[in-house]
Amino acid sequence: MSFIDVVLRVPSYGWQDHEGNLVKPSVKQLFSEFFQRLNVFRDKRNWLTVLSWGKVVCMVPFLLLFISKFFTVPLLIAAFIYSMFVMGTHGTIWHHRYCTHGAYKFRNHFWRFFTQNLTISMIPEEIYVVSHHVHHAKSDRPGDPYNAEGGFLYCFLADVNHQPISLSLDEAQYSRVKSLMKHTGLVPNTFQQYKSWGSYQHPRRALVSWVLNWSFWYLIFFLLGGHALSCTLFGAAGFWAVGVRTFNYEGHGKGEDKQRPGIDFNHADRSINQLWPGIVAGEWHNNHHLFPKSARSGFKPYQIDFAWYYIKFLHILGAVTSYNDAKKMFDTRYSNPKNEVYENAATVAAVRLNAKPAKNH
């Protein structure tokens, strides 16, 4: 078994059956797994998933205060922009392109810290990063932590049911987790601490950075617009954290083949380019699966990519020292419609030969 096969904690229903087919758990199985893994009293090593959803629950009072006490149309617009564009784009800049794919490099730790804390923090890095490597290695196959074929809930509850790291890694395997996370700046647990807490990060550090981040942003928003603005944008961040959990299902065509000629060029999996996630967060997901290490995913003129604009802007400032940009390669390969016919023919030929089409990463 390779590292990528064992790095995630296997759900009780397993990834695949004896014939290698995806196990599609029932709704009851999914919720049972979900609540067991959120039971920190049964096993303290469940602390990280509790933190992840605990943050969402903490946002509910802010959202209710916004709706019941502070609601105005300008604040609604602010909530919309913050939850869709700001939080969405930050997730792409930080969790996705930097922490997971190392698509660009910061000049120093200050700019890394600045970018990490550019918004209210919601998603723990290690839950996102390690499992996302598995997603790329096993897209739409058993073991993919948010395999869209498993259904909406399979993806929506994935951060608890399928994304945490395994509790039984040996020291060498845990070292590989450390090497995947090293550049993020998060201080790792020692192997002994990992055995005790089941995670890369120590809960004390996670709690301290959570409290500091939220306190800082509450204060800033309060100074700008009082409790009204603070409650609005905190509620908006909570709203985003729930909404983003639907992306992986939608971004892979809800488990169906929804790729369109002239728009989606990577046929090795079911990822699709969608207008809305692309516009608000730069998540042109089919492009991304073509060139996962690219700091830019919007290649066509209409494919705006705010995450890329931020990275490029930081590069102009000198805060980012280098980045990968696959636009030229994309143009060379796919701007000619004949190339796409060729790509499709190659994929079809590979399927006919009962072989997997070559992955592009």
If the CB atoms of residues 230 and 271 are measured against Zn ion, the closer one turns out to be 271
Number of neighbours of residue 331 by Cβ within 10 angstroms = 12
Contact at 8 Å (CB) between 142 and 23? Answer: yes
If the CB atoms of residues 271 and 294 are measured against Zn ion, the closer one turns out to be 271
* CA distances, 103 to each of 291, 311, 349 (Å): 10, 10, 32
Stretch 213-252: interaction string toward Zn ion, x if CB under 5 A: ----------------------------------------
Contact at 8 Å (CB) between 144 and 135? Answer: yes
Q: At closest approach, how far in Å is the CB of 61 from Zn ion?
A: 33
If the CB atoms of residues 118 and 137 are measured against Zn ion, the closer one turns out to be 137
Written as one letter, the residue type at 308 is W
* CA distances, 133 to each of 137, 217, 239, 280 (Å): 6, 30, 26, 23
For the chain, the first-to-last Cα distance in angstroms comes to 20
**Span interacting with Zn ion, options 219-227, 268-276, 297-305, 317-325, rule CB under 5 A:** 268-276
Question: d(Cα 145, Cα 8) in Å, to the nearest integer?
Answer: 8
DSSP category for residue 44: G
Q: At closest approach, how far in Å is the CB of 291 from Zn ion?
A: 10
If the CB atoms of residues 100 and 116 are measured against Zn ion, the closer one turns out to be 100
Size of the site for Zn ion (CB under 5 A): 1
Q: At closest approach, how far in Å is the CB of 139 from Zn ion?
A: 6
**Span interacting with Zn ion, options 32-40, 71-79, 164-172, 263-271, rule CB under 5 A:** 263-271
If the CB atoms of residues 189 and 294 are measured against Zn ion, the closer one turns out to be 294
If the CB atoms of residues 126 and 228 are measured against Zn ion, the closer one turns out to be 126
Number of neighbours of residue 94 by Cβ within 10 angstroms = 24
Q: At closest approach, how far in Å is the CB of 96 from Zn ion?
A: 6
Residues in the chain: 361
Positive or negative CA dihedral for 140, 146, 150, 155?
A: negative
Q: What part of residues 269-298 is at the interface with Zn ion (CB under 5 A)? A: 271
Q: What part of residues 12-41 is at the interface with Zn ion (CB under 5 A)? A: none
For 164, phi and psi rounded to 5 degrees?
A: -65, 155
Please count the CA atoms within 13 angstroms of the CA of 80 that sit on its side-chain side. Answer: 7
If the CB atoms of residues 25 and 282 are measured against Zn ion, the closer one turns out to be 282
Distance of CA 129 to the CA centre of its chain: 7
Q: At closest approach, how far in Å is the CB of 75 from Zn ion?
A: 33
**Span interacting with Zn ion, options 39-47, 166-174, 181-189, 264-272, rule CB under 5 A:** 264-272
Q: At closest approach, how far in Å is the CB of 152 from Zn ion?
A: 16
Helix (H) or strand (E) holding 323: strand 320-323
**Span interacting with Zn ion, options 48-56, 197-205, 224-232, 267-275, rule CB under 5 A:** 267-275
Q: At closest approach, how far in Å is the CB of 3 from Zn ion?
A: 18
Site residues for Zn ion per CB under 5 A: 271
